[in-house]
Amino acid sequence: MRIRQLVIAAKERNQLASQICEVFDLEIAFYDPGIIHFGLENVLIPVGNTFIEIVSPIEENTTAERFLNKRSGDGGYMVIIEVDDFVKEKNRILGNNIKIVWEADRNENGVHAQAIHLHPKQVGGAILSLDQMKPKSAWLWAGHEWESHINNTSSNCLVGVHIQSSLPKALMSRWEEALGKKGDPEGLKISLDESYIKFTEELDDRGEGINAFKISVKNKQNILEKAKSLNFLEDGNIFIGGVNFLLE
């Protein structure tokens, strides 16, 4: 079980994608036409074999539009966790009486993709999705040619997400139940394979939600200098799309 994809909801998809790609030397891999089902448009950007997705509402009264209004602008929206046994995890979720608000089961060009979105009011902090691909090397949400768009010149992969709350211990408890994983009560952190989810006190006035992504990079200083030149550096952190990008 690991973080495979982190999602930002934004008013302007293309502008934000361009900014992220410029700072981190990344490339756009895919625009998913199927996401119109949610009244959205999107873009997928590989960070190694993990992904940043940007979604923007193109219809009124979408969940993403309500999110943008609630959090006063762009921000971290969703955490997608890759699991090893989808059926087992789904049964565990149902056994814990956690509501599934959306489910996917798709076969396309030799790839079998399964996913469930959990009720955000039950879990809190962000929309949580549990996904599995067969074969494991695939990631259907990014299309079939995403590997040809990996640019690892500067960035390696996404390794963490930080979620803020006025009650971080209580929020971590709900995520522990949703993930079937015990967290560290001292550090308020749930460790996953090659990644983690950390819970913090509220660090700004935007309320409960994702505060930061952690990204493994090759040269911190070069990226920080580029971000500064583009005016994306705030208090020593890169801040783009309503998200702090913490470097490792």
Q: Which pLDDT belongs to residue 158?
A: 99
**pLDDT tens by residue, 21-46:** 999 999 999 999 989 989 999 999 99
Question: Can you give the pTM of this predicted structure?
Answer: 0.98
For the chain, what is the HEC assignment? CEEEEEEEECCCHHHHHHHHHHHHCCCCCECCHHHHHHCEEEEEEEECCEEEEEEEECCCCCHHHHHHHHCCCCEEEEEEEECCCHHHHHHHHHHCCCCEEEEEEEEECCEEEEEEEECHHHHCCCEEEEEEEECCCCCHHHCCCHHHHCCCCCEEEEEEEEEECCCHHHHHHHHHHHHCCCCECCCCEEEECCEEEEEECCCCCCCCEEEEEEEEECCHHHHHHHHHHCCCEECCEEEECCEEEEEC
- Could you tell me if 158 and 224 lie in one domain? yes
- Could you tell me if 40 and 83 lie in one domain? yes
- Could you tell me if 91 and 198 lie in one domain? no
Number of independent structural domains in the chain: 2
Tens-level pLDDT at each residue, the chain (248 residues): 999 999 999 999 999 999 999 999 999 999 999 899 899 999 999 999 999 999 999 999 999 999 999 999 999 999 999 999 999 999 999 999 999 999 999 999 999 999 999 999 999 999 999 999 999 999 999 999 999 999 999 999 999 999 999 999 999 999 999 999 999 999 999 999 999 999 999 999 999 999 999 999 999 999 999 999 999 999 889 999 999 999 99
Give the end of a domain, one of 140, 163, 197: 140
CA proximity to 23, closest of 232, 213, 218 = 232
CATH number for the domain that contains residue 239: 3.10.180.10
Q: Evaluate whether 242 touches 73 at the Cβ level (below 8 Å).
A: yes
Q: Evaluate whether 76 touches 211 at the Cβ level (below 8 Å).
A: yes
Q: Which pLDDT belongs to residue 125?
A: 98
Give the end of a domain, one of 140, 159, 178: 140
Q: Which pLDDT belongs to residue 175?
A: 99
Cα separations in angstroms, 161 against 36, 40, 195: 26, 23, 8
- Could you tell me if 7 and 116 lie in one domain? yes
d(CA 147, CA 52): 14
Q: Which pLDDT belongs to residue 157?
A: 99
- Could you tell me if 219 and 133 lie in one domain? no
**If 0-12 CB within 10 Å is exposed, 13-18 middle and 19+ buried, where does residue 61 land?**
exposed
- Could you tell me if 83 and 175 lie in one domain? no
**pLDDT tens by residue, 69-109:** 999 999 999 999 999 999 999 999 999 999 999 999 999 99
- Could you tell me if 173 and 88 lie in one domain? no
Give the domain range for residue 107.
2-140
- Residue 225: CB partners within 8 Å, gap ≥ 6? none
Q: Which pLDDT belongs to residue 37?
A: 86
- Could you tell me if 60 and 96 lie in one domain? yes
Both tokens of 53, joined, read 């997705």
- Could you tell me if 172 and 205 lie in one domain? yes
- Could you tell me if 62 and 177 lie in one domain? no
